[in-house]
Structure 1
Amino acid sequence: MRIESVHATPGVSGFYFDDQRAIKRGASQDGFAYEGDPVTEGFDAIRQAGEALLVEVELADGTVVRGDCAAVQYSGAGGRDPLFKAEEYAPVVEGPVADAVTGREAEEFLANAELLEELTVDGDRLHTAIRYGVSQALLAAAARARRTTMTDVVADELGTEPAAEPVPVFGQTGDDRYVNAEKMFVKGVPVLPHGLINAEEKIGSDGEALLEYVEWLVYRSRELGPEGYEPRLHVDVYGMIGELFGAPYDRDEVVDYFAALEDAAGDLPLQIEGPMDVGDREDQIDAMCDLRAGLADAGVDVDVVADEWCNTFEDVRAFVDAGAADVVQVKTPDLGSVHRSAQAVRYCEGTDTRAYLGGTCNETELSARACAHVALATDAAQVLAKPGMGFDEGFMIVENEMRRTVARRERDRSRAAEEVTAGD
């Protein structure tokens, strides 16, 4: 089935763009906004409305399939592509991108996605958000043409065995880290709470605020969670531990603090995302390898999650090859085409590193559903509930998409088995 046309419409995303550098430099909040001037190129304010570019691909049978171009909340930080402005990039999708894919066979997802990855305009690669959103539409087109699920398209192209059950969902609280965590406990969310520990007042001048929060998580999970509930605690500290204990990182003090966090978590497994941010990829890898070695020597059983400076497929490969993390976040919009996220998850197979298929609160429901299929196809260790920071909506979107897909695949297998039996 041929691709007939491609269209793009500017839209809104599920959250906001935030200037991470300005926030980490101490910008104070004014209600929901931030006071002060932005410092990252492209930003007009420290917090501004998120944008998405809504892509529609029309197929030869008249079917229209969709994908949403979106970029991470902290665009322009940690080596990422610059701020994504939908109006500015719409002509690129309806021009060079449309020219490249129109007339191609929709069934050929991997070939079409690789073409998208390699496409250049005026000598530059396409913004990661464009590759991300258009590839979602190409994946949906292939599923339509093959009359199967997006999970099966990815699995067939990459040679994987999809998960038989929904992948564990990771819920993020946003700044409402207590009420939203309680919501997660009631619903029995397997991985939580993210916590958004991105400023000194959230971790404490000596780290005491985060220790108290972890203790509260354990206590409240036992009060509110279902019987036998033992969630995995995953806290993103945005490099604040490194800033708190050294400039930017003192291993011995950080190891001691991780030991205190392990005690606070009790019997629940704990993983800390982004313990430090030392400014570039190679130094970040060295620092995280050093921290993992220190934790192992001290017998501290807390996992380290790579996020900053781990953006592209090549970055993921570098962190995994170096053994720099127990878990790597595959931050889907940063990798471009969704098949690159799938390949990044696969790269972790057979290593000591688990793959967390992440992304951002600043996506859309459409991109979240596409990522749910990538998570199932690759059997990732965990997948982010997204978009938004209200938790419930993102959890519903991702969990339900996986449940309905698992159920459909089971029905298809049962039907195929019945046909074989009838034929005998």
Structure 2
Amino acid sequence: MKIIDVVLSEGTTGFYFDDQKAIKKGAGHDGFFYTGEAVTPGFSKIRQKGEAISVMLVLEDGQVALGECAAVQYSGAGGRDPLFLAQDFIPVIESEIAPKLIGRELTSFRELAEEVDAMEHNGKKFHTAIRYGVTQAILDAVAKSQHRTMAEVVVDEYQTGVELKRIPIFTQSGDDRYNNVDKMIIKGADVLPHALINNVEEKLGRNGEILKDYVLWLRQRISEQKQSEGYEPILHIDVYGTIGQAFANDFKRVAEYVAELGEIAKPYHLRIEGPVDVDEREAQIKALAEITRYLAEAGSDVEIVADEWCNTYEDVVDFADANAGHMLQVKTPDLGGVNNTIEALLYCRKTGKGAYSGGTCNETNRSAEILTNIAMACGATQCLAKPGMGVDEGYMIVNNEMNRVLALSRRRKNS
């Protein structure tokens, strides 16, 4: 089966681009807008609409494979590629990548994806969002040419040894961290609530008191409102380095505070994502390794999740090897080609780290579906419900794709 054409269209994502540096510096609110000046290069406002590019590969039998280019909400922060605007990058795909795909035989996803991911322009790889969307389309194209699910293609090509099954879904609340928790409880989300704790004064507290109160409320709310007796979700809270800000990056004090949160959360297990952000890769690895060690010495079962500065496959390897966290978020758009996501998730499993197939609220329904296939094929520890921050939509997209993959793979086994 050959690719006979590449068709592109501009799209929007399920959320927004936000200038993380401006927010951390105390940007104000006016309804859904942030007030103040943007500080990250490329941003004209602190909050801008998210943009995507649909990449459609027309196959010689008339089928159309689809992937979508998207970048994370906090583009340009933590060592990531700059803001991704569709009108800037559609001409790049048309002129630089499409001619190299037209006429190609779809014999191996892995080989073609690795080739595209390694392509360069003026000595640099293409923007991560481009590589992300184009390789998604290639995976869909190979699956369509073989009349199988994308998950089955990945299991076979990478010999993952995984039997396809449901994996835990992690839902994110955005700033509506109370009402959205109620939705999560009703839906029976496996992991919740993310909570978006990205400001010390408003969301964490100078001494961490606001977050302590929130974790207590979470514990009580789940216990009071759970829909079945066996419901015991994992609590996973992303704090965007604010604990480090509050405690002047005293890593022992950070670990002590995190352990306190773990006790408040019981009987529910707690994960804390991004307890500190020290603005540099090697320092971040060292910081998370120290916090992880302090927690072990204290006998705490709270898990630290690495996020900031853990952007590429090489970063995932280095964080894992340094024991910099118990779980690593494979932030899927940041890795470029989805072949890198596959390799990163498998490396986490190999080294005994939690393999979190993450991403961003600022993706699309299509990228979420494709990455759900990949998370299942790699036996990820958990998979992010995306896009958006409304809970219901992201959970529906990921949950339903998961169930479709299982139903189709079962049918093939039984036929």
Which TM-score tier does this pair reach, normalised by the shorter chain? Answer: over 0.9
The aligned runs of 1:195-210 (5 Å cut-off) are 195-200=195-200, 201-210=202-211
Determine the structure 1 residue equivalent to 2:396: 396
- Give 2:103's aligned residue: 103
In structure 2, the partner of 1:166 is: 166
CA distance in 2, matches of 1:40, 1:319: 26
Does 1:213 find its partner at 2:229?
A: no
Letter in 2 for 1:120: E
Q: Which residue of 1 aligns with 2:152?
A: 152
Residues 303-361 of structure 1, C-alpha deviations (whole Å, 9 max, x = no match): 00000000000110110011111000000000011111011000012323111000000
Q: What is the match of residue 37 of structure 2?
A: 37
Alignment check: 8 A CA contact 1:163 1:378 kept: no
- Number of the residue aligned with 1:264: 264
User: In the TM superposition, what is the alpha-carbon distance from 1:258 to its structure 2 partner?
Assistant: 1.4
CA distance in 2, matches of 1:296, 1:162: 30
One-letter identity of the residue aligned with 1:235: I
Cα distance between partner residues in 2 of 1:132 and 1:255:
35
Equivalents in 2 of 1:367, 1:268: separation in Å?
Answer: 31
- Which residue does 2:287 correspond to in 1? 287
Listed as ranges, the matches of 1:54-203 within 5 Å are: 54-200=54-200, 201-203=202-204
- Residue 254 of structure 2 corresponds to which residue in structure 1? 254
CA deviation after TM superposition for structure 1 residue 161, in Å: 2.8
Q: 1-side partners of 2:67 and 2:392: how far apart? A: 22
1:242 alignment partner in structure 2: 244
**Secondary structure in structure 2 of the residue aligned to 1:13:** strand
Which residue is equivalent to 1:296? 296
* Per-residue deviation, 1:9: 1.2
Q: Counterpart of 1:352 in 2: which secondary structure?
A: coil
Kindly indicate whether the alpha-carbon contact (under 8 Å) linking 1:303 and 1:326 is maintained by their aligned counterparts in 2. Answer: yes
SS at match of 1:106: coil
Task: Map Cα deviations across residues 368-388 of structure 1 (whole Å, 9 max, x no partner).
Answer: 000000011001000000001
Give how far 1:199 is off.
0.4
Which letter maps to 1:233?
L
**Corresponding letter in the other structure for 1:242:** G
Q: Shift of residue 123 of structure 1?
A: 2.2
Structure 1 Cα separation of the partners of residues 257 and 163 of structure 2: 36
- Give the counterpart letter for 1:238 in structure 2: Y
Look up the equivalent residue of 1:223 and give its one-letter code: E
Question: 2: CA distance between counterparts of 1:4 and 1:11?
Answer: 23
Question: What does 1:313-324 align with in structure 2 at a 5 Å threshold?
Answer: 313-324=313-324
User: Letter of the aligned partner of 1:234 in structure 2?
Assistant: H
Q: CA deviation at 1:392?
A: 0.3
CA distance in 2, matches of 1:194, 1:260: 18
Structure 2 contact 164–377 (Cα < 8 Å) conserved: no
Task: Give SS of 1:14's match.
Answer: strand
Distance in 2 (CA, whole Å) between partners of 1:261 and 1:163 is 35
Q: Is the 8 A contact 2:167 2:376 kept in 1?
A: yes
C-alpha distance in 1 between matches for 2:163 and 2:42:
40
| Cα distance per residue 1:240-262 (max 9 Å; x no partner) | 0000001xx10222122112101
The residue type paired with residue 271 of structure 2 is: Q
TM-score (ref. length: structure 1) = 0.96
Q: Secondary structure at the match of 1:12?
A: strand
Partner-residue secondary structure (3-state), 2:349: coil
Alpha-carbon distance in structure 2 between the residues aligned to 1:139 and 1:322? 32
How far 1:164 moved relative to its partner? Answer: 3.4
Kept after mapping to 2: 8 A contact 1:323/1:352? no
How far apart are 1:163 and its partner, in Å? 4.1
Residue 235 of structure 2 is matched in structure 1 by 233
Structure 2 unaligned residues grouped into runs of 5+: none
Does the 8 Å CA contact 1:273/1:307 hold for their aligned counterparts?
yes
TM-score by length of 2: 0.98
Deviates more, 1:180-189 or 1:347-356: 347-356
Q: Give the match for residue 419 of structure 1.
A: none
Instruction: For 1:249-398, list aligned pairs within 5 A.
Output: 249-398=249-398
Count how many residue pairs are aligned between Structure 1 and Structure 2. Answer: 413
Deviation at 1:131, TM superposition (A): 0.5
CA offsets, 1:149-185, max 9 Å, x none?
A: 1001111111113343211000000000000011101
The 1-side partners of 2:259 and 2:275 are apart by: 14
Kindly state the Cα deviation for residue 5 of structure 1 after the two structures are TM-superposed: 1.1
